[in-house]
Structure 1
Amino acid sequence: MTDLPTPPMGVPVGVQGAVQGAVAVLEPERAVVRPNRLARYAASALILATSAVAGLVAWQSWRSYHLVRDVLSRFPTVTAEQVAVAEQRAAWLSWAWLGGLALSWVAFAVWLWRARVNAARVCDAGHRLRIRWAVLAWVVPVANLWWPQMVLADVHRASRPSTPERGARLAEVRGSPLVGLWWAAFLAAHAVDLVALHLIAGEQTERVFRDLFVATAASAGLTAVAAVAALVLMRRIDRWQDGRPAIR
């Protein structure tokens, strides 16, 4: 038996050809999907902060109700300075809540857009709405009452590890009740906020301030439910998508 000639690199010619042939048939390495953690962290922090401000608004409404009761009593003990401080604090909290709501939406929309892109990369199932609607769905009148939850629901289904990469139909994939809870609490909280705005614009009576406290307390509770549901959903979807090989 004759030995194969060995080139200067020390690998026999026949073996070198075999190695090159083996390398030629290897499949190219698939890209790995990575979620937008920065957007999720920012959205989570802003959502929690906004929920805390909603709780402070409810507390201030309770304080204002008691101030009004004292002012309207036969022997009031509240000073004009206390009333002015309460009004100023209520205004600051209202602006803080609005600002937090706007910033939370921006961060959440950025995260949802990236999650929607990643969902299309790990699963070729068709979504009910195209990628651009992950952001635009929030600003379309009337349709924004259900389109955002449609986007998140499809992302959740497509990202689920048990969903096949190819050939799946999202309508046949089990959905998450948490998505419905998040959206129902979100819409209900804003509906109650509209009631609170209507109360503020009306006559300033003791009963109005009492109803305002009830409305803001209900809104704070619903906001907390929506916040917790959103945080759980974002973390779950990111965990499902992280590190998965992309099919396109």
Structure 2
Amino acid sequence: MPKNWRPVGRSAIAASALIALVLVTDVLETVADVAGAAAMDDVMLWTNTGFFVLAAVAFIVWLWRVRANAELLVGPHGQRLTREWVIAGWICPVVNLWFPYRVVVDVWRASSPDRANVRDGLVVWWWMAFVVSWLFTRFITLAGIVDTVPLIAACLLDLVSGALALLVVRRITEWQSPTRG
């Protein structure tokens, strides 16, 4: 591994564990919501929100580290965006719809052991699922929709997005492991 290489295993474990907790609490919140258990729904909503914030921070810490490593692999010009966009890309309106994807796909391509033939379909599917899930959830929340089918659909979209995020974290982390060929 290049000099200044940062191990990413622990940050990947933290991000993955917190993403998994978000998914579990999302399901529990949806069940409580559909069952009409308002008190439990409120508890799960706040629990889910807390885990979501922690997962977001852990994911960004992990992404910062893998992005720094990717730069060591391909140089600073091998990434389309500067490292600051690892954070800013998530919080700047409008560009947050595609900058995080760009950061992740660039890291994906730089980290792949076969850079010449890398396929980034998993990253594309994760990002599409994430954006659709986010937009759909915002829509039903702002519209005040509390019907069972949209609530379950939102939960399923979250589960797909989260599962794909876990796969992306795992693959990039494996590619950046010390045993990488």
Question: Are the counterparts in 2 of residues 33 and 241 from structure 1 also a CA contact under 8 Å?
Answer: no
Change (3 A) 1:185 1:242: same
Q: SS where residue 138 of structure 1 aligns?
A: helix
- 1:94-113 aligned at under 5 Å gives the runs 94-113=45-64
Q: Secondary structure at the match of 2:83?
A: coil
The secondary structure found in structure 1 opposite 2:90 is: coil
Partners in 2 of 1:56 and 1:30 — Cα distance? 44
Task: Tell me by how many angstroms 1:98 deviates.
Answer: 1.2
1:183 pairs with 2:119: no
2:24 counterpart of 1:42: no
Is 2:26 the partner of 1:54? Answer: yes
- Following the alignment from structure 1 to structure 2, what is the Cα–Cα distance between the partners of residues 113 and 123? 16
**Structure 1 residue aligned with 2:99:** 147
State whether structure 2 residue 105 is matched by structure 1 residue 161.
no
Aligned amino acid, residue 56 of structure 1: L
The match for 1:243 is 178
Q: TM-score, normalised by structure 2?
A: 0.89
- How much does 1:31 deviate? 3.1
Alignment correspondent of 2:42: 91
Structure 1 CA distance, aligned partners of 2:61 and 2:5?
Answer: 16
Question: CA contact under 8 A between 1:128 and 1:154: conserved in structure 2?
Answer: yes
The structure that has the greater radius of gyration is 1
1:133 to 81, 85, 89: 85
- Whether 2:7 is the aligned partner of 1:63: answer no
Tell whether 2:72 aligns with 1:121.
yes
**2:153 corresponds to which residue?**
218
Q: What's the CA shift string for 1:207-248, capped at 9, x where partnerless? A: x54x2x222211211111111111111111111122279xxx
Distance 1:34 1:198 in 2: 41
Structure 1 residue 128 displacement after superposition: 1.0
Q: Deviations over 1:170-214 (max 9, x none)?
A: xxx6441111111111111122221332343xxxxxxx54x2x22
Do residues 197 (structure 1) and 158 (structure 2) align? no
Matched length? 179
**Structure 2 CA distance, aligned partners of 1:89 and 1:63?**
10
Percent identity over the alignment is 34
Mapped partners of 2:4, 2:86: distance in 1: 22
C-alpha contact 1:34 1:241 (8 A) present in aligned 2: no
Aligned amino acid, residue 220 of structure 1:
C
CA deviation string 1:35-91 (max 9, x = no partner):
322211111011011111111122122212xxxxxxxxxxxxxxxxxxxxx221111
Q: CA deviation at 1:155?
A: 0.3
Residue 149 to residue 61, structure 1, CA distance change in 2 (3 Å): same
RMSD across aligned C-alpha pairs, in angstroms?
2.1
- Structure richer in helix, relative to its length: 2
Q: Distance in 1 between the 2:154 and 2:105 partners?
A: 24
